[in-house]
Amino acid sequence: MIRHRKGGEPIVCLTAYTYPVAHLLNDHVDLLLVGDSVAMVLHGHKTTLGASLEMMIAHGQAVMRGSTKACVVVDMPAGSYEQSPAQALASARRIVDETGCQAVKLEGGVGMAAQIAAIVANGIPVMGHIGLLPQSVESDGGYRIKGRTEENVAALFADAEAVEQAGAFSVVIEGTIETVAADLTRRISIPTIGIGASGDCDGQILVIDDMVGLTVDRVPKFVKEYANLRDVISHAAATYAAEVRSRAFPGPDHIFSATSGKEPI
């Protein structure tokens, strides 16, 4: 269980939104997050606010078909849980029932503790999320790093403790000053998953498209690109286009003839 990994071998997490990617990542990660970042990464929205409950369920179902070992967590999108604990529980129940995922994630600390507690009390594991909250960027005036003032640091500690006490099994710390994220990790007893936070967190997560170099817009500072699929895909498409235009493709190996027999498609 992820909860029992506190202080042990770092927990490896990545986002996934599709069956083939989940299938490829399954053997290498401990946790797959079906993040509401899918609204930006695959659907072209400017923020995660473009994600809907139906969108998250559809992508959650796809990821579950490709995952056999990793713990799959599905994000609860903005508008699906903030109103009340009852709304949060209903949305979480629908996500779990329709996808079969192991847990849900929601953003917020002190203000969302009642929602977390209600979901956990009904047998659904919850991952918390504090620090920079992508669902709140519009009201927060943009993507602002957290932990720069004493007041904000105090609020972060209160959020972390509230999430822990509400029963979450782990918490994502995003976009937070390194020393603050490290202190938060030492303060609470549940695992912390860092993204733009600290190497001292109990685990790390990145958006898969950022990690493999598929992001077409600005890549965040905290991302390390382990591949450059932008160039690979662009080169493949250019080569294909050239071969189609020159009639080099399809060649003899890619067509069916009357003498081909019962070749599989």
User: What distances in angstroms separate CA 30 from CA 22, 88, 155, 248, 257, one per listed residue?
Assistant: 12, 26, 30, 44, 47
Residue 262 contacts by C-beta under 8 Å, 6 or more apart in sequence?
none
Catalytic residue among 174, 178, 225, 243: 174
Where in the chain does DSSP place strands (E)? Answer: 11-15, 31-34, 71-75, 103-105, 126-131, 170-174, 192-195, 203-206
Catalytic status, residue 174: yes
Which residue matches tokens 């809907």? 52
Task: Give me the torsion for CA of 170, 172, 176, 180, rounded to 10°.
Answer: 10
**For residue 63, which amino acid is it?**
V
Residues carrying an active site annotation: 174
